[in-house]
Amino acid sequence: MTARSAKAAPPRPRRTVSAPRTPRTPRGGRPTGSAPRRFHTRLRRAWDRPLTAYYLILGGSMLLIVLGLVMVYSASQIKALQSGLAPSFFFRKQLMAAAIGGVLLYLAARLPVRLHRACAYPLLAVSVFAMCLVQVPGIGVAVNGNQNWINLGGAFQMQPSEFGKLALVLWGADLLARKQEKKLLVQWKHLLVPLIPVAFLLLGLIMLGGDMGTAIILTAILFGLLWLAGAPTRLFAGVLGVAAVIGALLIKTSANRMSRLACLGATDPGPSDQCWQAVHGIYALASGGLFGSGLGASMEKWGELPEPHTDFIFAITGEELGLAGTLSVLALFAALGYAGIRVAGRTEDPFVRYAAGGVTTWIMAQTMVNIGAVLGLLPIAGVPLPLFSYGGSALLPSMFAVGLLIAFARDEPAARAALAAQATRRPGSGRKSVGVRWKTMRRRVTRRPSGER
């Protein structure tokens, strides 16, 4: 048998090294792979959606207000009965304030940015005038040792310093935005003047009434605006040093403030019960457990814990709703703060950036001061929990500020496009438009002359 007659052996198949297979993404964009990776991918896509900040601000604020109303009703019943009032007295006042605040929130969310800027100077002038009226005898009212209230007749009182926070945010944002547009913020005199003098005027009027807690929040708003404007670090160090010296002098010269500072981390009321409120706030949180004792079942609100429906409502929340309730409240505030930072970081409008950053600084700083005092980590400053505690003077400007954040979140180009797309996809909108087009077509056909058919 010759080599020519022999059949050629088939060639051996070559071994190829294949690339590692990547998980496919099926139709609809749903990723495959491990469960943690899928969850992380979906969570990242949800955070990156254009309407995420809008829904977080709207949903988080509404949940805080509704839960706050529930807790105000639960925490204030015994206080009202001890004062000879109806059990729902404080709840009805808070509900009325929430209704008025809802109107303010809606107006703030619908007004254009130029009208918000136009309201900055009138609001600042009215706030300064009202804070001056607090010191007029017969008009100003002292509550718990602080002369910072105005009597509006009957059982209604107003705290002008709460509106001063909103005035500083809007006026400061408009001032810094106009100076940035003219490229003047690179100079120290334009960065500090007149923002610092006006802020010091508001702080002086607040400290005349002895309200150091509100002064701390106003200082935090000022620092937030300066930080967003790009102030150098040495400026913050100098201002913080001056503020620390002034704060130390104010605390040293007041026996009430010295006693509050001495109650940091206290576990016993002390010989003269000077730490009674701080210690019983810890008792309320500790007795709540994981899921709490139930709504209305608090024991500390029966005269043991002062101010259970205002400054220490977070302690009653921990006692009745437990750790789950307090963590839920913290999660809602964290979502609100994240959304505010996102709105301030993604906008190209300088006024929106300063105003959103100032509102976020205001709400987050006041939340930390209030909850820190309840936990015994900070001195009791006497500031309410935003959107949650009892008090119409605090609730109204806070809800207007939330309306500002909603307006800014809606004003983003991607958010406007997403909202417009949602409006066209509403149930019935497509059928209605098709029906209108069909009727229009039939009308045109019937109106044609017979010779053209």
Mean pLDDT of 422-432: 62
Using left for φ > 0, alpha for ψ between -120 and 50, and beta otherwise, residue 255 falls in alpha
* 248 pLDDT above the threshold of 70: yes
Instruction: Put the strands of the sheet holding 140-143 in their side by side order.
Output: 140-143, 146-151, 157-158
71-to-318, 324, 354 alpha-carbon distances in Å? 11, 15, 33
Burial 37-47 (b: 16+ CB within 10 A, else e): eeeebeeeeee
pLDDT of residue 63: 97
Q: Which tokens belong to 76?
A: 């204030």
Q: Which tokens belong to 30?
A: 């749903």
Percentage helix, strand, coil, to 5, in the chain? 65, 5, 30
- In this prediction, residue 431 has a pLDDT band, given cuts at 50, 70 and 90, of very low
Mean pLDDT of 204-215: 90
The string of pLDDT tens digits covering residues 19-54 is 445 445 555 455 556 777 877 787 777 777 888 999
Residue 375 CB neighbour total at 10 angstroms: 17
**CB-CB contact of 435 with 67 (8 Å):** no
pLDDT of residue 14: 54
* H-run or E-run covering 149: strand 146-151
| CA nearest neighbour of 278 among 322, 318, 311, 326 | 311
Tell me which of 18 and 243 has the higher pLDDT: 243
The string of pLDDT tens digits covering residues 122-133 is 999 999 999 999
Give the angle 141-398-208 at the CA atoms, nearest 5°: 35
* 180 pLDDT above the threshold of 90: yes
Burial of 306: CB neighbours in 10 Å, binned 0-12, 13-18, 19+: middle
pLDDT of residue 22: 47
- In this prediction, residue 416 has a pLDDT band, given cuts at 50, 70 and 90, of confident
Mean pLDDT score of the chain: 85
By three-state DSSP, how is residue 277 classified?
helix
By three-state DSSP, how is residue 391 classified?
coil
